[in-house]
């Protein structure tokens, strides 16, 4: 089979996550109790035998680099291939890129240096467990210029970056941008496969013409002008899209569903992350925990319901946390009440505090704050 290289966009959609990405990339946003969002796409690539991956950065990528480290957890600390951090001012640019096409322009040196025939491109807001080798085989069989990986839309979403209508063989009939999904349509999950040389040509051509939006200025425009043929690969397993703060909270809580958790975390295709040695979580005599994800190193003396706790969280006696996310190193004081909230890292919630948000507009407490 033809070999693949990978490109990951670490900062695309940062603005949609508001305060959560004020000091970090969307790629390094914690998810699911012990992971970062980049862990999923990076693990998918490694499990698909992709040995060379470029991560395009923009700003606030210190936490991302700290998390990735030497990349030994993903077996990418190698002499040939491995992981490449691509900074925003690469390839002679003096300004920060605005969209994926300009981001890929900063990665031209990486793209030209690869000896693979195909490139897989991916966002990091998409949480799934996918084998890109199967997608590549489908792409080659289709004979089309580019494959867009898509899935059925989830209920409740009013707009998607790309919506596809396709024939039974996967040939795209129409592509619409930033609109609601129609009946029997498929929605893009921000992942594409394309020939490397063709991608280089497209990026150079589009950027020189002042275009920067991958889906609108290239995919839809070229398709409508009959310059490219588009293959739509229907990925039928679980896909979670952290498109905004509300879906980020919702999708974290969805991991308490054993069926969804099982489709994302497979023994045959593990999701790797930075290893941290922690003591087991301690559950006090007064603790009550129902349908939660709780990482190592926590001390639980209060009540938890439908929530996700990261490492080293302390829930004191009388405190109650419902439908919320509490990130690493945070402390929830005695007799506090937290509902529909996202508590960032190293936050202190003082005794008796009440924080109540809604599922569509959760309360967010920024990293390191005391409330």
Residue 140: strand, helix, or coil: helix
Structure tokens, 141: 């069989």
Return d(Cα 132, Cα 49) in angstroms, integer.
9
Question: At a CB cut-off of 8 Å and minimum separation 6, what does 27 contact?
Answer: 8, 9, 10, 11, 36, 37, 38, 55, 64, 124
Cα–Cα distance, 359 to 246 (Å, whole number): 6
What are 98's two structure tokens?
A: 């605005």
pLDDT of residue 58: 83
Instruction: Output the CA–CA distances (angstroms, integers) from residue 45 to 115, 123, 191, 263, 298, in the order listed.
Output: 17, 12, 12, 17, 31
The predicted model scores a pTM of 0.93
Q: What is the DSSP letter of 249?
A: H
Residue 156 is predicted with a pLDDT of 57
**pLDDT at site 78:** 80
Tell me, what's the pLDDT at 97? 67
How far CA 217 is from CA of 13, 100, 207, 210, 223, in Å, comes to 17, 10, 10, 10, 10
**CA distance to 12, 24, 37, 217, 367, per residue, from 275 (Å):** 26, 20, 15, 40, 22
Q: Rounded to the nearest 5°, which phi and psi values hold at 159?
A: -155, 145
* Per-residue tokens: 186: 């498929």
pLDDT in tens, the chain (371 residues): 468 999 999 987 777 888 999 889 999 999 999 999 999 999 999 999 999 999 999 888 888 999 998 889 998 988 778 999 998 755 555 456 678 999 999 999 999 999 999 999 999 999 999 999 999 999 999 999 999 999 998 765 677 889 999 999 999 999 999 888 888 899 999 999 999 999 999 999 999 998 989 999 999 999 999 999 999 999 999 999 998 999 999 999 999 999 999 999 999 999 999 988 789 999 999 999 999 999 999 999 999 999 999 999 999 999 999 999 999 999 999 999 999 999 999 999 999 999 999 999 999 999 999 99
């Amino acid at each position: 089979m033809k070999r693949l290289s990978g490109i990951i966009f670490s900062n695309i959609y940062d603005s949609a996550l508001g305060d959560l990405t004020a000091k970090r990339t969307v790629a390094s946003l914690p998810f699911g109790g012990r992971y970062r969002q980049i862990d999923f796409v990076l693990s998918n690539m490694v499990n698909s035998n992709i040995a060379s991956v470029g991560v395009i950065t923009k700003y606030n990528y210190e936490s991302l680099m700290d998390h990735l480290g030497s990349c030994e957890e993903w077996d990418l600390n190698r002499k040939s291939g491995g992981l490449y951090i691509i900074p925003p001012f690469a390839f002679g640019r003096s300004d920060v890129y605005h969209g994926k096409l300009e981001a890929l322009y900063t990665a031209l040196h990486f793209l030209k240096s690869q000896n693979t025939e195909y490139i897989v491109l991916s966002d990091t807001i998409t949480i799934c467990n996918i084998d890109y080798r199967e997608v590549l085989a489908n792409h080659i069989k289709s004979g089309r210029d580019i494959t867009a990986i898509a899935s059925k839309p989830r209920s409740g979403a009013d707009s998607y970056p790309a919506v596809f209508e396709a024939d039974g063989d996967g040939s795209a009939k129409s592509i619409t941008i930033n609109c609601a999904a129609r009946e029997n349509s498929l929605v893009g999950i921000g992942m594409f496969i394309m020939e490397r040389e063709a991608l280089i040509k497209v990026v150079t051509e589009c950027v020189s013409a002042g275009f920067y939006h991958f889906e609108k200025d290239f995919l839809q425009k070229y398709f409508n002008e009959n310059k490219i043929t588009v293959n739509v690969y229907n990925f039928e397993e679980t896909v979670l899209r952290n498109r905004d703060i509300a879906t980020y909270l919702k999708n974290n809580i969805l991991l308490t569903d054993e069926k969804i958790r099982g489709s994302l975390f497979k023994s045959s295709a593990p999701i790797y992350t930075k290893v941290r040695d922690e003591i087991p979580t301690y559950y006090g005599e007064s603790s009550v925990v129902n349908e939660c994800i709780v990482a190592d190193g926590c001390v639980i003396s209060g009540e938890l319901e439908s929530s996700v706790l990261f490492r080293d969280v302390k829930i004191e006696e009388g405190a109650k946390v419902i439908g919320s996310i509490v990130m690493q190193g945070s402390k929830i004081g005695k007799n506090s009440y937290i509902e529909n909230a996202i508590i960032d890292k190293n936050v202190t919630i003082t005794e008796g505090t009440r924080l109540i948000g809604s599922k569509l507009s959760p309360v967010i407490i920024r990293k390191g704050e005391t409330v």
